[in-house]
């Protein structure tokens, strides 16, 4: 295939902030990451909400057909999964549609099962599920099915135990749109989660400590695109520069960069227009990265990739 000319990339101003993700904690300024609607019209596209600096708006619901043909009310929720980065395992977010009747338990079930759309994502949890997940004025209350998840058994290090706890915290806070602490119980008594004390409530750690530094919201994994599509996500990248590539196999057939709304202190929204009209139909990979000012001297850029089909 002939290498195509470098695509012109325009960083677009965000006109709507969607699905506020909870990536901060404590008394600090509350970081936020607002994402545009994913490409492809997938049923897991985030619902539109007004821009906000606090998680006060719950996801909106919409009907979808169930297996028996009846209409089931669903909501879009963020679910956090684990993936590898140059700085070790970090958390990445997917937006998913779940039943509106009990979105907390549904999101927790996807999380513990590692049921991610992106094959690069996994879960920090062994097989199994929580007995129950609820939210009240004191925060989130998670009941374990047995004591197997109370000790670090199955976790390689204390860092992985902490990451598993953060995976739960960010998922539940994202669903509920509240920064409430998470407590874990067994038979009604407070217990540890993989050795992490939860009796006083576990809160979200600073985002740059636990999140992948770039996350692609759109296109979603497996999306079909044509012409020009809008790629979007969040990132914390040097000088807000977010390079991107379209690859066919290992060959880069398009590349460019865009500028996020900020950098350094949190993950900030970014958008890029990607023109694939000159590509032959078929399967490609869209990759967004952080900029690497070390020119290879450091650990390397963070990246997030999605498989796409060009019509």
Q: Which of 38-52, 58-72, 146-160, 202-216 has the highest mean pLDDT?
A: 202-216
Residue with tokens 């997940």: 133
For residue 204, the tally of other CB atoms under 10 A from its CB is 25
Residues near 76 by Cβ (< 8 Å), separated by ≥ 6?
19, 44, 45, 46, 47, 59, 60, 95, 96, 97
pLDDT digits (tens, 9 = 90+) for 62-117: 555 555 556 679 999 999 999 999 999 999 999 999 999 999 999 999 999 999 99
The residue with greater pLDDT, 53 or 79, is: 79
CATH 2.60.40.10 residue ranges of the chain are 1-53+213-311
Our CA angle for 49, 50, 51, nearest 5°, is 120
Residue 233, pLDDT > 50, answer yes
Residue with tokens 């740059």: 208
Position 72 scores a pLDDT of: 77
Residue 52, pLDDT > 80, answer no
CB 226 within 8 Å of CB 310: yes
Pick the closest to residue 140 from 107, 168, 106 (CA basis). 168
pTM: 0.81
> Looking at residue 50, what DSSP letter applies?
-
> Looking at residue 3, what DSSP letter applies?
P
Residue 221, pLDDT > 50, answer yes
> Alpha carbon of 270 to those of 13, 42, 229, 295: distances in Å?
9, 20, 14, 23
Residues near 91 by Cβ (< 8 Å), separated by ≥ 6?
80, 81, 82, 83, 163, 166, 167, 170, 210, 211, 212
Position 182 scores a pLDDT of: 98
State the architecture of 1-53+213-311 in CATH terms: Sandwich (2.60)
pLDDT digits (tens, 9 = 90+) for 279-310: 999 999 999 999 988 777 778 999 999 999 99
Strand partners, 210: none
Position 42 scores a pLDDT of: 39
Residue 167, pLDDT > 60, answer yes
Would you say the C-alpha torsion 14, 29, 233, 109 has a positive or negative sign? Answer: negative
Strand bridging mode 228-235 / 214-218 = antiparallel
Strand partners, 96: 77
Position 298 scores a pLDDT of: 76
Position 103 scores a pLDDT of: 97
What is the average pLDDT score of the chain?
82
Q: State what percent of residues in the chain have pLDDT above 90.
A: 69
pLDDT digits (tens, 9 = 90+) for 239-264: 999 999 999 999 999 999 999 999 98
Pick the closest to residue 169 from 23, 29, 11, 32 (CA basis). 23
Position 154 confidence tier, pLDDT thresholds 50, 70, 90: low
Position 35 confidence tier, pLDDT thresholds 50, 70, 90: very low
d(CA 104, CA 206): 22
d(CA 73, CA 60): 10
């Amino acid at each position: 295939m002939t290498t195509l000319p470098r695509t012109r990339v325009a960083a677009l101003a965000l006109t709507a902030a969607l699905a506020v993700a909870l990536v901060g904690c404590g008394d600090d300024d509350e970081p936020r990451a607002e994402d545009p609607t994913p490409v492809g019209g997938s049923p897991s596209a985030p619902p539109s909400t007004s821009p906000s600096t606090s998680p006060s708006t719950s996801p909106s619901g919409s009907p979808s057909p169930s297996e028996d043909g009846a209409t089931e009310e669903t909501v879009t929720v963020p679910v956090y999964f684990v993936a590898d980065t140059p700085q070790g395992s970090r958390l990445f977010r997917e937006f998913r549609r779940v039943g509106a009747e009990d979105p907390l338990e549904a999101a927790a079930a996807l999380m513990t099962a590692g049921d991610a759309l992106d094959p690069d994502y996994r879960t920090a949890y062994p097989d199994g599920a929580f007995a129950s997940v609820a939210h009240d004025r004191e925060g989130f209350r998670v009941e374990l099915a047995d004591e197997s998840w109370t000790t670090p058994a199955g976790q390689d290090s204390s860092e992985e135990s902490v990451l598993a706890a953060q995976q739960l915290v960010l998922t539940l806070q994202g669903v509920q749109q509240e920064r409430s602490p998470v407590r874990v119980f067994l038979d009604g008594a407070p217990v540890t989660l993989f050795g992490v004390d939860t009796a006083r409530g576990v809160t979200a750690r600073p985002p740059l400590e636990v999140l992948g530094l770039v996350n692609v919201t759109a296109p979603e994994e497996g999306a079909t695109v044509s012409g020009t599509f809008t790629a979007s996500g969040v990132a914390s990248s040097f000088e807000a520069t977010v390079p991107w590539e379209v690859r066919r196999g290992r060959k880069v057939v398009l590349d460019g960069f865009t500028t996020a709304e900020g950098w350094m202190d949190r993950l900030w929204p970014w958008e890029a227009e990607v023109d694939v009209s000159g590509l032959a139909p078929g399967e490609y990979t869209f990759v967004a990265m952080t900029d690497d000012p070390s020119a290879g001297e450091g650990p390397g850029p963070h990246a997030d990739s999605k498989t796409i089909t060009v019509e």
